[in-house]
Amino acid sequence: MHSKNDWFILGAGAIGSLWAVSLKESGQACYAITKSCARDKYAEKQFTLKENREKITVPIQCVSADQIDHPIYKLIVSVKANDAVEAIKSIKYALEENATVILLMNGMGFQHEIHKLLKDQHIWTGSTTDGAWKEAPFSVNRAGRGITWLGHTKKIPAKNPLPFIPRLDVALCDDIDMKVWYKCAINGIINGLTALYQCKNGGLLSCNQRRQRLKRLADECTSLLRKKAVPVTENLFEMSLSVIKKTANNFSSTLQDAMKGKPTELQWINGFLINEAKSLGMQLYAHEELMIELHSMNIY
């Protein structure tokens, strides 16, 4: 039986699978909307999560976007930035008015399209420092436990839309836009370099040259944020070092995509930062250099 409390997770990548397992483990009804279940409507798949030395497996029903046969009241969107708008369009027919939608995606510059699509829904933005990578379909490895900030897009003081989920650290936040800027900057500092050096996050601290590149990227982000009047209360370089240390054993999402030969999200991360800077008459040399190097390796 389906209910208004059922959670649907759109996109079973690393973060989507982590959330699906965590919700299910805490007793919530949860479905994954994935491409890989095209023929098998609501087929049960065993989702596995590895965290530290623990390994848990929970059954989760999967459905493809065109086969949802009951209204969605609670949706978590964890697809790639490149696919976000199309993925939401594909399930919109099943989405209730006033549904709760939580966006959990890296990058910036595409959210306004989603807001246009979801005028009747309550949109929450999530920004996470969790580090997770997909080992195989339906199998995720959580390499670093982070925190997920959640803010209502219209900044209305609303009740936390999530139940208590012991495995996830979720906190409400009044200024989610600032967190999203910070997250985009942190990803812009870390992710492209891991793809360039083909290393886990921790590998970025292996020599001075890499640290210097991190510092240059961070300094440019700080200048851009200041120019955008985003309060820079924290040192972005120090923040990225701390994220790197906490997720040292993780393959960044960008490196995961690059290793699979898939398009990365960098156009919504560094690409977005570079364009924002340009529109303000600034140039982010270190970010531009990095993108050119990555393009010469066929990483887009």
Which residues form the interface with ligand KPL (CB under 6 A)? 106, 129, 131, 187, 190-191, 201, 243, 247, 250, 252-253
**Closest CB 180 distance from ligand KPL, rounded Å:** 12
Contact 263, 257 (CB under 8 A): yes
For ligand KPL, the closer of residues 58 and 147 by Cβ is 147
**Closest CB 293 distance from ligand KPL, rounded Å:** 19
CA 34 to chain centroid: 16
**Closest CB 259 distance from ligand KPL, rounded Å:** 13
The strand order across the sheet containing 139-144 reads 131-136, 139-144, 43-51, 54-63, 30-33, 7-10, 72-77, 95-103, 122-128, 148-152, 170-172
For ligand KPL, the closer of residues 64 and 146 by Cβ is 146
**Closest CB 158 distance from ligand KPL, rounded Å:** 25
Give the integer Cα–Cα distance in Å for 106 and 110. 10
**Closest CB 252 distance from ligand KPL, rounded Å:** 4
> CA of 73: how far to CAs of 2, 4, 30, 101, in Å?
11, 6, 12, 8
**Closest CB 149 distance from ligand KPL, rounded Å:** 13
Other beta carbons within 10 angstroms of residue 151's beta carbon come to: 22
Kind plus residue range of the DSSP H or E element containing 180: helix 176-197
For ligand KPL, the closer of residues 187 and 267 by Cβ is 187
> CA of 66: how far to CAs of 37, 42, 100, 160, 259, in Å?
11, 12, 20, 29, 29
Kind plus residue range of the DSSP H or E element containing 72: strand 72-77
For ligand KPL, the closer of residues 111 and 247 by Cβ is 247
**Closest CB 28 distance from ligand KPL, rounded Å:** 24
For ligand KPL, the closer of residues 24 and 80 by Cβ is 80
Contact 141, 54 (CB under 8 A): no
For ligand KPL, the closer of residues 46 and 206 by Cβ is 206
Give the integer Cα–Cα distance in Å for 107 and 253. 11
For ligand KPL, the closer of residues 82 and 253 by Cβ is 253
Contact 272, 180 (CB under 8 A): no
